[in-house]
Chains A and B, each alone.
Chain A
Amino acid sequence: MPKDSRTQDVIFEARDLHISARREDGAEVPIVKGVNFTVRRGEVVALIGESGSGKTTISLAALGYTKPGLEFTGGQALLLGEDVTGKTTDQLRPVRGESVAYLAQSAAATFNPSIKINEQVTEAPVLHGTKTQGEANEKALALYRALELPNPESIGARYPHQVSGGQLQRLMAAMALCGDPDLLVLDEPTTALDVTTQIEVLKAFKRVIKEEGAAAIYVTHDLAVVAQIADHIVVLYNGEVKEAGPTDVIINRPRHPYTKRLMAAIQPLPEPGQGNIALDEHLRDDPAIEVRDVDAGYGMGVGGQPAVKILRDINIKIERGQTMGIIGESGCGKSTLARVIAGLLPACEGELLLDGQPLPPALADRTRDQLRRVQFVYQMADTALNPRQYIRYILGRPVEFYTGLRGKKRRKRVEELLELVELPASFADRFPHELSGGQKQRVNLARALAAEPEVVLCDEVTSALDTIVGANVIDLLTRLQKETGVSFVFISHDLSTVASFADEIVVLYAGRVAEQGPTDMVLAAPHHPYTRLLISSVPEPRMGWLEEAAQTRAARSGIAGGVEMTEVGCPFFERCPLAIPGTCDKVDPPRLDDGHGHVIECHRELSELE
């Protein structure tokens, strides 16, 4: 395709686009059913919808590509005026990476682990002969600078595993932009990132798209993100366009019921005082589980200490029938804490108390009854459920193991469990792959409930789910808690989800508790500087939020590196806008207690943290 297309106004147009899946028996299953939309130069068009809405399939059509098993069955996908649906891979090769470039959801999976970054970034234009290696290197360097990557001169000489996730995501943008494409296709490019990282990546994307004069198709399920970056929004459901229009119209005056539902499913950060009221009907003298002075880590070090210490001085109490939310960026030790409580990773220091009684640190030393009382729910139901077992067996085994029910009684209990998580009893005779993502997560939860536990550790259980499905799972958890009095440890990097649901919040940073207390108090000032950074990074579904946040964000130092463990002092020192050099980096921060169970670990006075 000619590069003198710079004058063309319409970059991409989908005209009555149809895409179908071909089943093994030859039957056609329509996935995309007659979609129309236009992308003009300099515009960002967002495709929004839940999984299964066909949004990724449509966006890939701009590259003339369909995932294996799918095929174009009608209509046109016009890239710079030429239909790309009927072309062969060889015909499309000069277009891909040159006229249109793709950014995938997970940069970590999209970069070849065995090839240095710069070669991958510059590969497309050099292969297509539009740039010499030298020109491409220059372009890449300029992009590294524009994307605010650290050490732009040398970062290209690294391998993908040697840079952080947020950096890799921006490097993928550099890879896409290196060939000066007219159209960028971005597929959920910030979904896998922490909020603090997402904000930086969004900012960089937005600026670079503008500076390069490119147009973009932005695929996401997150309306708050869309509001920051898109000019137009196309709302998709089940392969059809439900509503389309300028961003402010869709965000502020949604008309289609489905768009309204999507907007309603966004959980804004509750205002302080609006959080959950703790129910005390299940309370007892002793907390359901207590973690005292726990240290834990991986590997074998000197003197029985782990080689890499992940958690330090963790002290938390989870009351019966309540939910403890654990929040922090990736790498801060959230999942490690859950593994310590579950006994998968024995703590090297400190102790665990279950209902006031000591709980052995290692799984192998616990009695069956102790095992029963603490259960674990994994993030990915897809990998946590054995694909070759019927749901009946998946649920029946823990039922028999923990409660000793057999035969008819066991069967009945499995059906009760399914009912408890609002699934029909007939699902017992299905395999996991016959269920949707949300349904699988419910089975995953039911398996934990089969043990009739007192504490359930939920590790990012809603993170892989769509907004609406995730909200339904949270409703279910709330109901189950009321009915059974179970305590939840709810781990998430999503502050709004945690805040809407947890009675107490623990903010972890680099394996230490930065702040903890009742949800209302954690959300209200005084804040630990890190909590403030997290709160200010949660995107709001209104236009212009990104710019405001970038201006006023308490810690503009936010991206200054990932989470680093430190031997002494406060680990947040490097990123903290209130850091006191000489104190914060040398001395462990003291615990500031306001007397109401609200604790902040900081060298500053509480009054300074208002």
Chain B
Amino acid sequence: MLSLILRRLGIGLITVLAVSIIIFFGTKILPGDAAQIRLGQEATEANVAAMRERLGLDQPVPMQYLNWLGDFMTGDLGTSLASDVPIVNLISDRYKNTVIVSALTALIAVPVSLLLGIMAAMFPGSIYDRILTFVSVSLVAAPEFFTATLLVLIFVFALGWGNAVVVGSIEGKGFFELIAHFALPVTTLGFVIASQLIRMSRAAVLNVMNSPYIEMAILKGVPKKRIIFRHALLNAIGPIVNVIALNLAYLVTGVIVVEIYFGYPGLATLIVQAVQTRDFVLIQGLGMIFCLTYVILMLIADIAAFASNPRLRHPK
């Protein structure tokens, strides 16, 4: 099992390295020169040359890559081209904001959707199952901006609850104010991940429910609840954990539309700004952070799936 985990770790590292190469050289082939952008159009050639030297841009490209990677590993993401601020400072606040929304969404949406999905698997083909299937498939088909608009229309404009724009600090706000603060973005994101989680947990449990050992449990007179939660769920953990991890990764890295929609100061709005200002040092840093988040979440999911498999935990 340890060797399996180490191997996954190795694969994760290779993934990060491969992505770093793609990100670095991908931004390199973009038109524009960092020193030029930094100094503006009016800079003299001598100044630009000096700046190029200072930024290490006069060195061969592979050397630049190694320097960049080395800096990245020591936590130095470089300096923003657009605002002359260290990237780390730019990102850290935004990262915290995104993590807060993601964590809130995950805390609410994951347990609720798993429960809904498992209940659907308990009564396949029932009215409850069919309604849930219909709703979750509709939600998965609806784009986020549509869901968000719908929610804003209903809650903010029709009912007068919640905020259509989520700005400002959360410090000093009371509990109910905080709910109003986060309600709409969290609900929108929750809907997006819930549908997939419901479908997948239903399918994973249902798949296990067809196995002979479940039939055996029925024939032993085991109550339905215990069959689901003790016999079936244990064997469905692997696929379910993977879907959860994928969705969490989506929450951190893929919420661009929702963050923009609500004007929320998270990572996604930052990357849009970075692209608009052609701040490719910032794009590089954000790309690497997204990549790391993905790889780490997947790694955790893999380890959890290994740990849930007694064949790997207790080899013969």
> Footprint of B on A, CB under 8 Å?
60, 63, 65, 89, 92-98, 101-102, 104, 106, 109-115, 123-124, 127-128, 158-159, 161-162, 175
Is B316 on the interface with A (CB-CB < 8 A)?
yes
**CB <8 Å contact, B221 and A110:** no
The yes or no answer to B314 lying at the interface (CB within 8 A) is yes
Q: Is B28 an interface residue (CB 8 A)?
A: no
24 A–B contacts from the bound complex (CB under 8 Å): A60-B219, A65-B218, A89-B218, A92-B221, A94-B221, A95-B221, A96-B220, A97-B222, A101-B220, A102-B219, A104-B216, A112-B231, A112-B234, A113-B213, A113-B311, A114-B309, A114-B310, A123-B222, A124-B220, A127-B221, A127-B226, A161-B310, A162-B316, A175-B220
Do B234 and A114 have beta carbons less than 8 Å apart? Answer: yes
Query: 8 Å CB contacts to A: which residues of B191-232?
Result: 211-213, 215-224, 226, 230-231
Residues of B within 8 A of A159 (CB): 310-311, 314
- B234 CB to closest chain A CB (Å) equals 4
Known: A97-B219, A102-B219. A162 touches B314 (CB 8 A): yes
Q: Bound complex: CA of A94 vs CA of B216, how far in Å?
A: 15
In the bound complex, residues from chain A placing their C-beta under 8 Å from that of B308 are: 114
Across-interface contacts of B218 in A (CB, < 8 A): 65, 89, 96
Query: Inside 8 A of A65's CB, which chain B residues have their CB?
Result: 218-219
Please, how many angstroms separate the alpha-carbon atoms of A59 and B221 in the complex? 16
Which B residues lie within 8 Å of A175 (CB)? 220
CB-CB contacts of B234-268 with A at 8 A, as 1s and 0s? 11000000000000000000000000000000000
Q: Within the assembled complex, what's the spacing in Å between the Cα atoms of A65 and B221?
A: 11
Taking a contact as CB atoms under 8 Å apart, the answer to whether A98 and B316 are in contact is no
How near does chain B come to A127, taking the closest CB pair, in angstroms? 6
For B235, list chain A residues within 8 Å (CB): 112-114
Chain B residues with Cβ below 8 Å from A111 are 213, 216
Identity of the chain A residue whose Cβ is nearest the Cβ of B213 in the assembled complex: A112
> What is the minimal beta-carbon distance from A562 to any residue of chain B, in angstroms?
11
Question: Smallest Cβ distance from B202 to chain A, in angstroms?
Answer: 17
Residues of A within 8 A of B219 (CB): 60, 63, 65, 96-97, 101-102
Report the minimal beta-carbon distance from A180 to chain B, rounded to whole angstroms.
Answer: 14
- A109/B221 in contact, CB under 8 A: no
From the candidates B213, B216, B221, B314, name the one contacting A93 in the complex (CB within 8 A): B221
Taken together as a complex, chains A and B put the C-alpha atoms of A89 and B226 apart, in Å, by 14
Whether B221 contacts A124 by the Cβ 8 Å rule is yes
From A96, A128, A175, residue with most partner B Cβ within 10 Å: A96
Tell me which residues across on chain A come within 8 A of B213, comparing CB atoms. 109-113
Shortest distance between the CB of B133 and any CB in chain A (Å): 19
Give every chain B residue within 8 A of A115 (Cβ-Cβ).
230-231, 234
**A161 touching B220 in the complex, CB below 8 Å, given contacts A109-B211, A111-B213:** no
A contact residues around B234 at 8 Å (CB):
112, 114-115
Q: How far is the CA of A470 from the CA of B212 in the complex (A)?
A: 26
Q: Closest CB of chain A to B35's CB: distance in Å?
A: 51
- Total A-B residue contacts, Cβ distance less than 8 Å: 77
A127 contacts B316, C-beta separation under 8 Å: no
How extensive is the interface on chain B, given as a class? 20 to 34
| B221 and A96 form a contact (CB under 8 A) | yes
Provide the bound-state CA to CA distance between A486 and B213, in Å. Answer: 43
Chain B residues with CB below 8 A from A113, complex form:
213, 235, 310-311
> In the complex the two chains form, is A112's CB within 8 Å of B221's CB?
no
- Known interface pairs A112-B234, A113-B235, A114-B235; A124-B310 also in contact (CB < 8 Å): no
Contact of B217 among A92, A112, A158, A162 (CB under 8 A): A112
Query: Which among A95, A104, A106 has the highest number of chain B CB atoms within 10 Å?
Result: A104
Q: With contacts A112-B217, A113-B235, A114-B309 known, what are 20 further pairs, Cβ within 8 A? A: A60-B219, A65-B218, A65-B219, A89-B224, A92-B221, A93-B222, A94-B221, A97-B222, A101-B219, A109-B211, A110-B213, A110-B216, A111-B213, A112-B235, A114-B308, A123-B217, A127-B220, A161-B311, A162-B314, A162-B316
A109 touches B212 (CB 8 A): yes
A161 pairs with B316, CB closer than 8 A: yes
Which chain B residues border A102 with CB–CB below 8 Å? 216, 219-220
Partner of B223, one of A93, A101, A104, A112: A93
Contact partner of A97 (CB less than 8 A), chosen from B220, B224, B230, is B220
Q: Cα distance A97–B217 when bound, in Å?
A: 9
CA distance A175 to B219 in the complex (A): 12
Q: For the complex, give the distance between the alpha carbons of A127 and B217 in Å.
A: 11
Chain B, 14-49, contact with A by CB distance < 8 Å: what is the 0/1 string?
000000000000000000000000000000000000
Contacts of A124 in B (CB 8 A): 220-222
Distance of B22 from chain A, by nearest CB (Å): 31
**Is A127 within 8 A of B310, CB to CB?**
no
Chain A residue at minimum C-beta to C-beta distance from B234: A114
CA distance A95 to B220 in the complex (A): 9
Kindly state the separation between the CA atoms of A65 and B222 in the bound complex, as whole angstroms: 14
A98 touches B221 (CB 8 A): yes
Residues of B within 8 A of A95 (CB): 221
Docked CA distance A63–B221 (Å) = 10
Closest partner residue, chain A, to B223 (CB atom): A93
Q: Is B221 a contact partner of A128 (Cβ separation < 8 A)?
A: yes
Q: How far is the CA of A106 from the CA of B212 in the complex (A)?
A: 9
In the complex, A128 Cα to B222 Cα: how many Å? 9
Q: Could you tell me the distance between the alpha carbons of A112 and B212 in the complex, rounded to whole angstroms?
A: 9
User: Which residues of chain B are near A112, meaning CB under 8 Å?
Assistant: 213, 217, 231, 234-235
Nearest residue in A to B308 (C-beta to C-beta)?
A: A114
Q: How far is the CB of A67 from chain B (nearest CB, A)?
A: 8
B125 to chain A, nearest CB (A): 11
> Nearest B residue to A106 by beta-carbon distance?
B212
Q: Considering the chains assembled together, what is the distance between the CA atoms of A93 and B316 in angstroms? A: 35
What is the CA–CA distance of A175 and B211 in the complex, to the nearest angstrom? 18
Closest to A96 in B: B221
Nearest-CB residue, chain A, relative to B230? A115
Q: Which of B212, B223, B231, B234 has the most A CB atoms < 10 Å from its CB? A: B212
- By a CB distance below 8 angstroms, the chain A residues around B231 are 112, 115
Report the separation of the CA atoms of residues A95 and B218 in the bound assembly, to the nearest whole angstrom.
Answer: 11
Could you tell me the distance in whole angstroms from the C-beta of A175 to the nearest C-beta in chain B?
Answer: 8
Instruction: Quote the shortest CB–CB distance from A423 to chain B (angstroms).
Output: 31
Question: Distance (Å) between the CB of A567 and the closest chain B CB?
Answer: 18
CA distance A104 to B212 in the complex (A): 9
Which chain B residue lies CB-closest to A93? B221
Q: How far is the CA of A124 from the CA of B231 in the complex (A)?
A: 13
Give B219's nearest chain A residue, CB to CB: A102
Q: How far is the CB of A97 from chain B (nearest CB, A)?
A: 4
Task: Determine whether the beta carbon of A97 is less than 8 Å from that of B221.
Answer: yes
List the B side residues contacting A162 at CB < 8 Å: 314, 316
Residues on the A chain within 8 Å of B310, using CB: 113-114, 159, 161
Q: Are B222 and A127 in contact (CB under 8 A)?
A: yes
Docked complex: B260-316 residues within 8 A CB-CB of A = 308-311, 314, 316
Instruction: List, in ascending order, chain A residues with CB within 8 A of B311's CB.
Output: 113, 159, 161
Residues of B within 8 A of A110 (CB): 212-213, 216
How distant is the Cα of A161 from the Cα of B311 in the complex, in angstroms?
A: 7
In the complex, the chain B residue whose C-beta lies closest to that of A178 is: B220
A123 with B220: CB separation less than 8 A: yes
Which residues of A are found within 8 Å of B220, using beta-carbon distances?
A: 96-97, 101-102, 123-124, 127, 175
For B309, list chain A residues within 8 Å (CB). Answer: 114
Contact with A along B110-150 (1 / 0, CB 8 A): 00000000000000000000000000000000000000000
